[in-house]
Amino acid sequence: MISELILKWYKKNKRDLIWRKTKNPYKIWVSEIILQQTKISVGSKYYLSFIKKFPNLESLSKGSEKEILKIWEGLGYYSRAINMLKTAKTLVKNKKKFPSNYESLIKLKGVGDYTASAISSICKNEKKAVLDGNVFRVISRVFNISAPINTVAGKKIFQKLTFKLLPDNQVGDYNQGLMDFGSLHCTIRKPKCKSCPLKNLCKSYKLNNIENRPRKIKRTTPKKERVYNYLKIIINNKLLIKKRSKSDIWKNLFELPLIEGKEIISKELLIKYLSTLFDSIKINHFQLDKTINHKLSHQNMTINFWNIGITVRKEKKNISLLNIKLKSIANYPFPKPILKYLNDYLNT
Ligand code: SF4
């Protein structure tokens, strides 16, 4: 019953999205991974650049980490892009096509239940239920479910129920319809209940309990506070950058030389740090140029950008610094705040 109403609603209200014009599992995979990071309007642009650069599995398998991170720049969760690259390389090496069935999809690196269910139901109409934030909201409201959606036990309840509700046919359309319905009609704030095709079935609506659904348990883990001091050092019209290699945020992206953990850096600290990079230097000037606050899901960052003027006599060996021409900044993937800072600098 619900599936019929959702399919009917979807037929009328379906969003015209470019990846909905294909059943190619590779392209659906790209769209699904991108949309886990961002909203549709932003994701569409990333999807188009991705498919332009890597139109199929073979082209992606030949790509480099730097190229995929450049396309992913600004999306966050960069390990997802790296996993996509690894997956493509492995599949092509083993002479395999990109799969479209759940059983093979779930074995791929970086593909979880949601992505495997979405791809297999869209491409093959496999009877797999998808559970994203929109689906949780619609189902929790229609059935007035009090189980929290961010606990293992709560998720199990929703998984069972969403599976039961699947139609026998048009599973892909139904799954996409349910997600669209949550995003456009049964919205977080001000759902359109009066004109809702599900209102006669919706328990929360009848009980006037919509505001309490879905339920989430509040997590109280405090966010980690971090202070980053980035040093903008330009020598002979070339900018010093380095690749982040530690298992931390922004792994494998590029950044400016960094002193972490101090609110304000002193000349002594700066000399100490720079002497790890160069054998012989003279500091001509250093000023704080800009401070920004950057929020990540588990961290609050204060980022200071410093203008540093130095005279270098000799760079230390074995230091992974790169001297890049200012105009080639666009060839390197940077975390969003650094990219913005550098672009602002180049455009002033
Ligand atoms: S009646 Fe309101 S709360 Fe219930 S499904 Fe429709 S829009 Fe959502």
Q: Which two tokens stand for residue 119?
A: 């791809």
Domain span holding position 30: 2-131+157-176
CB burial string 11-22: b at 16+ within 10 A, e below: eeeeeeeebeee
Q: Which atom of ligand 1 is nearest to the CA of 196?
A: 6
Decide: 196 in ligand 1 pocket, CB within 6 A: yes
pLDDT score at 311: 87
Decide: 204 in ligand 1 pocket, CB within 6 A: yes
Q: Which two tokens stand for residue 346?
A: 């180049």
Average pLDDT over residues 314-331: 82
Binning pLDDT at 50, 70 and 90, where does residue 321 land? confident
| Claim to verify: residue 328 and residue 240 sit in the same structural domain | yes
pLDDT score at 91: 98
Name the closest-CA residue to atom 8, ligand 1: 186
Tell me, yes or no, whether 42 lies in a domain: yes
Catalytic (active-site) positions: 32
Residue 123 Rama label (left phi>0; alpha psi -120 to 50; beta): alpha
Tell me, yes or no, whether 146 lies in a domain: no
Q: How far apart are CA 345 and CA 73, in angstroms?
A: 18
Average pLDDT over residues 324-339: 94
Q: How far apart are CA 42 and CA 139, in angstroms?
A: 26
Q: Are 134 and 181 in contact (CB under 8 A)?
A: yes
Residue 264 CB-density burial (10 A; 0-12 exposed, 13-18 middle, 19+ buried): exposed
Q: Which atom of ligand 1 is nearest to the CA of 191?
A: 7
Tell me, yes or no, whether 320 lies in a domain: yes
Tell me, yes or no, whether 183 lies in a domain: no
* pLDDT over threshold 90, residue 207: yes
| Claim to verify: residue 31 and residue 106 sit in the same structural domain | yes
Tell me, yes or no, whether 83 lies in a domain: yes
Any idea which of 25-29, 121-125, 237-241 has the lowest mean pLDDT?
Answer: 237-241
Tell me, yes or no, whether 265 lies in a domain: yes
Q: How far is the CA of 155 from the centre of ligand 1 (A)?
A: 20
| Claim to verify: residue 255 and residue 329 sit in the same structural domain | yes
Q: Which two tokens stand for residue 339?
A: 């990219």
Any idea which of 18-32, 131-145, 147-161, 274-288 has the lowest mean pLDDT?
Answer: 274-288
pLDDT in tens, 140-195: 999 999 999 999 999 999 999 999 999 999 999 999 999 999 999 999 999 999 99
Pocket test for ligand 1, best of 135, 188, 202 (most atoms within 8 A of CB): 202
Q: Which two tokens stand for residue 27?
A: 């392209």
User: What CATH number does the domain containing 101 carry?
Assistant: 1.10.340.30
Average pLDDT over residues 65-76: 95
Decide: 134 in ligand 1 pocket, CB within 6 A: no
Q: Which atom of ligand 1 is nearest to the CA of 193?
A: 2
Q: What is the pTM of this model?
A: 0.87
Q: How far is the CA of 133 from the centre of ligand 1 (A)?
A: 15
Decide: 141 in ligand 1 pocket, CB within 6 A: yes
3-state secondary structure the chain: CHHHHHHHHHHHHCCCCHHHHCCCHHHHHHHHHHHCCCCHHHHHHHHHHHHHHCCCHHHHHCCCHHHHHHHHCCCCCHHHHHHHHHHHHHHHHCCCCCCCCHHHHCCCCCCCHHHHHHHHHHHHCCCCCCCCHHHHHHHHHHCCCCCCCCCHHHHHHHHHHHHHHCCCCCHHHHHHHHHHHHHHCCCCCCCCCCCCCCCCCCHHHHCCCHHHCCCCCCCCCCCEEEEEEEEEEEECCEEEEEECCCCCCCCCCEECCEEECCCCCCHHHHHHHHCCCEEEEEEEEEEEEEEEEEECCCEEEEEEEEEEEEEEEEECCCCCEEEEEHHHHHHCCCCHHHHHHHHHHHCC
| Claim to verify: residue 29 and residue 165 sit in the same structural domain | yes
Any idea which of 216-230, 264-278, 306-320 has the lowest mean pLDDT?
Answer: 306-320
Tell me, yes or no, whether 321 lies in a domain: yes
Pocket test for ligand 1, best of 3, 5, 13, 142 (most atoms within 8 A of CB): 142
Pocket test for ligand 1, best of 136, 183, 184, 186 (most atoms within 8 A of CB): 186
Binning pLDDT at 50, 70 and 90, where does residue 265 land? confident
| Claim to verify: residue 27 and residue 166 sit in the same structural domain | yes
pLDDT score at 317: 66
96 to 58, 90, 99, 104, 191: CA distances (angstroms): 10, 9, 8, 11, 45
Decide: 341 in ligand 1 pocket, CB within 6 A: no
Counting residues of the chain whose pLDDT is more than 90, the rounded percentage is 81
pLDDT score at 298: 87
| Claim to verify: residue 263 and residue 172 sit in the same structural domain | no
In whole angstroms, how large is the CA radius of gyration of the chain? 25
Mean pLDDT across the chain: 94
227 to 44, 241, 252, 293: CA distances (angstroms): 33, 19, 20, 9
User: What CATH number does the domain containing 240 carry?
Assistant: 3.90.79.10
| Claim to verify: residue 46 and residue 161 sit in the same structural domain | yes
Phi, psi (rounded to 5 degrees) for 253: -85, 170
* pLDDT over threshold 80, residue 319: no
| Claim to verify: residue 164 and residue 276 sit in the same structural domain | no
Average pLDDT over residues 234-247: 91
| Claim to verify: residue 25 and residue 172 sit in the same structural domain | yes
* pLDDT over threshold 80, residue 278: yes
pLDDT score at 318: 61
* pLDDT over threshold 80, residue 316: no
Decide: 191 in ligand 1 pocket, CB within 6 A: yes
Decide: 229 in ligand 1 pocket, CB within 6 A: no
* pLDDT over threshold 90, residue 210: yes
Q: Which residue has the higher pLDDT, 237 or 162?
A: 162
Highest mean pLDDT among 85-99, 244-258, 273-287: 85-99
Residue at a domain's end among 113, 143, 176: 176
| Number of domains comprising the chain | 2
Q: Which two tokens stand for residue 316?
A: 């230390």
| Claim to verify: residue 171 and residue 293 sit in the same structural domain | no
Tell me, yes or no, whether 197 lies in a domain: no
Q: Which atom of ligand 1 is nearest to the CA of 199?
A: 1
Binning pLDDT at 50, 70 and 90, where does residue 1 land? confident
pLDDT in tens, 284-293: 999 999 999 9
| Claim to verify: residue 110 and residue 166 sit in the same structural domain | yes
| Claim to verify: residue 167 and residue 30 sit in the same structural domain | yes
